[in-house]
């Protein structure tokens, strides 16, 4: 009697399932980059764009690296996310530079001392003039004077931003020509001329 060796089926190692593409980073980069770019154009509200564009840039770089290694299939989306995020970042930086320059100009103006001059000229007589006066960074209540003959002038030293000012004048019953003029540091800001009885000139809003 011969012994027959049992037959065994060959053992095959389990086949590895292909891993699905890891496209999440590229998609996230595109979405964040697009939203960040849109928000970056809105002043003040655009501060929320900073984290969006930075995260979009990071996710896009990571997604591009995975696509180059064959672990993702959305290389185009990753590149688009990087581009949008960079554009949004540039807009955010531009806003930061702009607001910084504005703040610097405001500080310089607040510290500057200006010379404000009110002038009345012409041939009118018995002129009544009403004008605002300046204190330290403030505008005092209006003052009024009766001017028998022209010219007339008032000078003020103002430190800080000009928050307002005005000079108005009216001719008397005899009429005549009347001109008001306002200069700030030698530069004419307002001027107006009128003539006749009880004619009025007004230099405001400078």
Domain at 189, CATH number: 2.60.40.2880
Strands (E), the chain: 113-122, 125-131, 143-149, 152-159, 166-170, 177-184, 187-195, 200-204
User: Residue 161's pLDDT is what?
Assistant: 60
Predicted confidence (pLDDT) per residue in 11-60, tens digit: 655 555 566 788 899 999 999 999 999 998 887 777 889 999 999 999 99
Locate tokens 């581009």: which residue? 83
User: Residue 204's pLDDT is what?
Assistant: 87
| Residue 18 covered by a domain | no
Domain end (from 110, 132, 157): 110
Domain count, the chain: 2
pTM, rounded to two decimals: 0.52
Q: Three-state DSSP class for 194?
A: strand
Secondary element (H or E) of residue 36 = helix 24-40
pLDDT at 179 over 60: yes
Specify whether 123 is located in the same domain as 59: no
Termini Cα distance of the chain: 126
Q: CA–CA separation, 65 vs 83, rounded Å?
A: 15
Q: Cα 129 from chain centroid?
A: 40
Locate tokens 């010379």: which residue? 115
Least Cα distance to 37 among 85, 98, 93, 97 occurs for 85
| Residue 170 covered by a domain | yes
Specify whether 154 is located in the same domain as 98: no
């Amino acid at each position: 009697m011969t012994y027959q060796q049992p037959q065994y089926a060959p053992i095959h190692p389990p086949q590895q399932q292909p891993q699905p593409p890891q496209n999440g980073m590229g998609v996230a980069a595109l979405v964040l980059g697009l939203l960040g770019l849109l928000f970056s154009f809105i002043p003040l509200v655009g501060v929320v764009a900073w984290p969006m564009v930075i995260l979009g840039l990071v996710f896009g770089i990571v997604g591009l690296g995975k696509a180059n290694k064959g672990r993702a299939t959305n290389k185009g989306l990753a590149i688009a996310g990087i581009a949008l995020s960079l554009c949004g970042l540039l807009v955010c930086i531009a806003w930061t530079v702009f607001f910084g320059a504005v703040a610097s100009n405001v500080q310089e103006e607040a510290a500057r001392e200006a010379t404000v001059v009110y002038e009345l000229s012409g041939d009118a007589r018995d002129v009544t003039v009403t004008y605002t006066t300046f204190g330290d960074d403030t505008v005092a209540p209006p003052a009024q004077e009766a001017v028998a003959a022209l010219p007339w002038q008032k000078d003020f030293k103002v430190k800080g931003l000009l928050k307002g000012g005005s000079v108005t004048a009216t001719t008397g019953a005899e009429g005549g020509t009347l001109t008001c003029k306002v200069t700030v540091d030698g530069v004419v800001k307002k001027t107006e001329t009128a003539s006749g009885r009880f004619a009025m000139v007004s230099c405001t809003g400078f």
